[in-house]
Amino acid sequence: MPGVTAELPSGYQLGRYAIEAPISQGAMGAVYRATNRVTGQPVAVKRLLDTRHAARFEIEARLLSQLKHPRVVEVLDHFQDQEGVYYLVMELVEGMDLGMMVEQRGDPGLPIDEVVEYTRQACEALQYVHDQRIVHRDVKPQNLICGEGEGIVLVDFGVARELGASDSGTVGVGTPRYMAPEVFAGGAVSARADVFGLAATMWTLITGTPPVYGDPTQLTEEFPGVSPELEQTLRAGLEIIPERRVASVSAFANALGEKLKTSEGASLALSLGKGSDSTSRAGNLIEAVVRAGAGVFEAAAASIALTDRPTGELVYQAAWGAGANEIVGVRLPPGVGIAGSVVAGGEGVAVPDCRNDPRFAAQIAAGTGYVPNTMLVVPLKQADGNVVGVLSILDRRDGGAYDQRDVMRAESFAELALVALEHDPSALGELAV
């Protein structure tokens, strides 16, 4: 396997980061404790070991850096060194991971009430992640840290994937006995994969050892405090066939009798003004459209721009994912960029390499801080053929390029999206009318 094998020694300099000591190593990368030499902040630096996944790593790093939730580790930075190796810089969560906790305190496992509370907190983290259309895919005790004064924090998104994506070429990325069978087999990834990992984690915290597929152990007989209802919930979370498994972490928490806090965390979908009830409703609708578009096309970002009738400018109304904060509200002069050319021509395009496309508005992209690798842009075209805006899909999460085969699907999606938006006139407002 092509990649990087040599460990980074203590004191090694990575730009403004100084390596101190290794923390862990997994299938996709090694994690080190380090210090930001400029600010003095302690950080965790993840180094990509397999260089075949460099493009995917860069794209995912951009997206993960947008996650903001008190129970999810914050991604602070990402960069490539002179040798082409990628690094992800995360906040360093001080505390003990649940794997170490069960090793040190387990008898053989932890008290049931404590396990249930840790699981509830993990569900809060995962529910937020899933709401952003991301699946962690490596949920295990070692990736759940009991932070000092903060409770559980979910860490290490090195193998995160978009909901619904298959994983050909990276079969088996994850941790055996915590990995859902469909992930091991390279099948479609969904929120149910994280439910499996969470249930396997809970089983481990109770028994002291992870389950095996179809584990026959009777928990209610061997572990005092495990009720029949709790065991039934665990087994429902460990179902081999994903369609039979508990569908979501919120449903898993409900089955445990726990309530989740859902108000915390920043959404990756943003839109212009949400002052009144009508604009709030319109914003929610257009945000839902860009979120769905990103999911359908396995993208790191998506946006909708509508034509301002008086000026002819394209105004970015909503965006999801990497760069969303910076693109919403941007005004693009008529005919400028790939989006402008699509409005003018009325036909969708797939751009495999944005940076070498003469239509690409490089200055505007640089101003947003997000220069995409590949792009899919299709018109929002009304029944009479009038183009009122564009839907843009940026960067396939697997590192591949969009091509002409994606255009027809994207145009069909845009047609449905426009129908939905037209059913709520406030979603289009005075623009593009």
Residues designated as active site: 138
Separation between Cα atoms, residue 226 and residue 111, nearest integer Å: 10
Measure the CA–CA gap between 338 and 314, rounded to whole angstroms: 11
Reported in sequence order, the residue ranges of 340-386 that DSSP labels E, i.e. its strands, are 349-351, 375-381
Alpha carbons 88 and 156: distance in angstroms, whole number: 10
The closest of 269, 18, 257, 307 to 123, measured between CA atoms, is 257
Q: Are 297 and 411 in contact (CB under 8 A)?
A: no
Whether 110 contacts 101, CB under 8 Å: yes
Pairing of strands 375-381, 387-396: antiparallel
Q: Name the DSSP letter for residue 148.
A: T
419 CB-contact burial (10 Å; exposed 0-12 / middle 13-18 / buried 19+) = exposed
Residues 6+ away with beta carbon under 8 Å from 84: 51, 54
Q: At what angle do helices 228-237 and 191-207 cross, to 10 degrees?
A: 140
d(CA 126, CA 291): 18
Other beta carbons within 10 angstroms of residue 176's beta carbon come to: 10
Cα–Cα dist 111/224, whole Å: 10
Own/partner contacts of 241-244, CB < 8 Å, gap of 24 or more, are: 242/180, 242/181, 242/182, 242/190, 242/192, 242/193, 242/196
Q: Provide the CA 100 distance to its chain's centre, in angstroms.
A: 26
Could you write out the three-class secondary structure of 95-113?
EEEHHHHHHHHCCCCCCHH
Token pair listed for 120 = 């509830």
Distance of CA 313 to the CA centre of its chain: 32
- Structure tokens belonging to residue 332: 């693009």
